[in-house]
Amino acid sequence: MNRNYTKLDASFYEGDDVVMLARQLIGKLLITNRDGGRCSGRIIETEAYNGITDKASHAFGGRRTARTEIMYANGGVAYVYLCYGIHHLFNVVTNSKDIPHAILIRAIEPIEGKDIMMHRIGASTLKHNLGSGPGKVTKALGIRVEDTGFSLLSDQLFIADDGFVPMNIIATPRIGVDYAGADAALPYRFVVADHPAISAKSFTKKFIA
């Protein structure tokens, strides 16, 4: 494996087209350096949340609450929130200050620190689906709600480009946003088609799409 990579910088996260950025994150490495070791996974599934006009976004209508305030920060920080009282979901905040764009990382293919990630997940055997879902991505990599606001330019939590060129990226509607009316149909989810480690719900969604 090629261990040479370039950390994504502020100019990437400050880009103004969150849908394009979500697509560009496919194939990049999401890396954490904490709690006993370095772990990384290749991003294979993302979703764009396109600001105040996107009904599926927590920032729809320009809503600002204590929880969502970080979405209005300048791009390049983490937005992690608790879903269903159990799962921590990791988002990348993009664009500039006061424009609440975010990208949900929904699945990774485990690359480095597989033993550590297995331990965090509680898996006894290594399976391809160690990071096949947004809740599992954070659990495997040791990302928590307390990381909200954490800079992605740090060495503890960041995204890097190692030159890998993903194949067969397709766009589909997002998962679990049926409440968003017409916006639920927007093709804002990106996945590596037929990858074995995309999120479980994706399989049914893929054929609907």
Partner DNA sequence: CGACCGATCGTCT
Partner DNA sequence: GACGATCGGTCGA
8 Å CB contact between 61 and 52: yes
Among 18, 56, 78, 143, binds DNA (CB under 7 A): 56
Say how many CA atoms lie within 13 Å of 154 toward its Cβ.
12
Site string for DNA, 120-139 (x = CB under 7 A): -x-----------xxxxx--
* Distance of closest approach, residue 198 Cβ to DNA, in angstroms: 10
Q: Does residue 201 belong to the site contacting DNA (CB under 7 A)? A: yes
Of 3 and 57, CB closest to DNA: 57
Of 31 and 198, CB closest to DNA: 198
Crossing angle (nearest 10°) for helices 134-141 and 114-121:
120
Nearest CA among 206, 168, 204 for reference residue 189: 206
**Residue numbers of the site for DNA (CB under 7 A)?**
47, 49, 56-58, 63, 65-68, 81-87, 89, 91, 102, 104, 121, 133-137, 174-177, 179, 199-201, 203-204
